[in-house]
Amino acid sequence: MIIFENQNDLQLYLQNEGINKKIGFIPTMGALHDGHISLIKESSKKCDLTICSIFINPTQFNNKEDLDKYPKTLEQDILLLKKNECDILYSPEKSDLYLAGEKVTKYNFKNLGDVLEGIYRPNHFNGVATIVEKLLNIVKADYAYFGLKDLQQTMIIKELVRLKKINTKIIGLATVREENGLAKSSRNKLLNLEGKKTASLIYKELLLISSSLQNNDIDSTLIKAKEKLIKNNISIEYLEIIEINSFKISRSINSSKKHAICIAAYVNGVRLIDNLIL
Ligand code: PAF
């Protein structure tokens, strides 16, 4: 695996070695887990060159404490990438991607950016889109891979690519889970064993909601689910059913459209998100 810390070096390399090759790209913030590895494997299957980036993007964090707490495991990540046959790692410093004092770009993602994560993490998606736009313009990949655990983020990035006419196909891949159902996430590294056990109740509840919806309305189902989670020391930021393409909150299921149950919740002070596509 070749490691680049500088975008010019990476671009120079790709201008020579990337010609006539299908390029797959996996942007990450490190603390890699099986979810990321599934993206790398899919890219390696489909593409001639697989590029991963590791950059903890400060502009997408709403508060400094969250940024400071974010797990940083670069050495382990490099070993994992080598083991999984990633071809190139781009792991820059902030100054390689942002000018001093640079502000995020303000995008208009309409409803997609105004609900759920958009409400609870103001400006988060502007930060995500700013860095992903920069990265996609550097790498110029044929395909870029994202985990559907971050369903709203994946939809935002699809919209970003459409708005900015970026020639990269965005692929969302299924959430990888622990045996107990807990969605794999870099933030799980901040949970102890007990916390992980508690957090596994989130996905179990999403499954129960899904089956309960066959006989009950959305509102009463979600109220009951929230009560149960709260009793188990899980504090909920949101628990909603949305229509996937618009991310509009659904009060009933329209069988001609695709819906998902989306949740953001805190377990032992760690913010987790998950979803279940219905
Ligand atoms: O999902 C992530 O890890 C980040 O939001 C991303 C897409 C790498 C942008 O910093």
Q: Is the pLDDT of residue 238 over 90?
A: yes
Query: Residues 70-100: pLDDT tens digits?
Result: 999 999 999 999 999 899 999 999 999 999 9
The amino acid sitting at 96 is D
Q: How far is the CA of 53 from the centre of ligand 1 (A)?
A: 10
Q: How far is the CA of 28 from the centre of ligand 1 (A)?
A: 5
* Cα–Cα distance, 212 to 257 (Å, whole number): 19
Q: What's the pLDDT score for residue 162?
A: 98
Q: How far is the CA of 253 from the centre of ligand 1 (A)?
A: 30
Kindly report the protein residue whose alpha carbon is nearest to atom 3 of ligand 1: 28
Query: Residues 242-271: pLDDT tens digits?
Result: 999 999 999 999 889 999 999 999 999 999
Q: What's the pLDDT score for residue 173?
A: 98
pTM above 0.85, yes or no: yes
Kindly report the protein residue whose alpha carbon is nearest to atom 8 of ligand 1: 28
Choosing from 37, 38, 57, 139 the residue with most ligand 1 atoms within 8 A of its CB, the one to mutate for a pocket test is 57
Q: What's the pLDDT score for residue 67?
A: 95
Q: Are 210 and 276 in contact (CB under 8 A)?
A: yes
Q: Active site residue: 33, 36, 124, 259, which one?
A: 36
- pLDDT, average across residues 14-32: 97
Q: Is the pLDDT of residue 216 over 90?
A: no
Query: Residues 124-140: pLDDT tens digits?
Result: 999 999 999 999 999 99
Task: List, by residue range, all CATH 3.40.50.620 domains of the chain.
Answer: 2-173
Q: 9 exposed, middle or buried (CB, 10 Å; 0-12, 13-18, 19+)?
A: middle
**What tokens were used for 29?**
């913030």
Instruction: Say yes or no: domain 2-173 is CATH 3.40.50.620.
Output: yes
181 falls in which pLDDT band (50, 70, 90)? very high
Task: List, by residue range, all CATH 3.30.1300.10 domains of the chain.
Answer: 186-277
* Cα–Cα distance, 161 to 216 (Å, whole number): 38
Q: What's the pLDDT score for residue 42?
A: 98
* Cα–Cα distance, 193 to 224 (Å, whole number): 26
Kindly report the protein residue whose alpha carbon is nearest to atom 5 of ligand 1: 128
Q: Is the pLDDT of residue 197 over 90?
A: yes
Q: What's the pLDDT score for residue 226?
A: 98
- pLDDT, average across residues 99-112: 96
Instruction: Say yes or no: domain 186-277 is CATH 3.30.1300.10.
Output: yes
69 falls in which pLDDT band (50, 70, 90)? very high
Cβ atoms < 10 Å from Cβ of 74 = 14
- pLDDT, average across residues 151-155: 98
Q: What's the pLDDT score for residue 54?
A: 98
Catalytic residue status for 124: no
DSSP string, 20-65: T--EEEEEE-S---HHHHHHHHHHHHH-SEEEEEE---GGG-SSHH
Q: What's the pLDDT score for residue 145?
A: 98
* Ligand 1 binding pocket, CB closer than 6 Å: 27-29, 57, 60, 128, 131-132, 150, 153
Q: Is the pLDDT of residue 224 over 90?
A: yes
Choosing from 38, 107, 153 the residue with most ligand 1 atoms within 8 A of its CB, the one to mutate for a pocket test is 153
- pLDDT, average across residues 204-211: 98
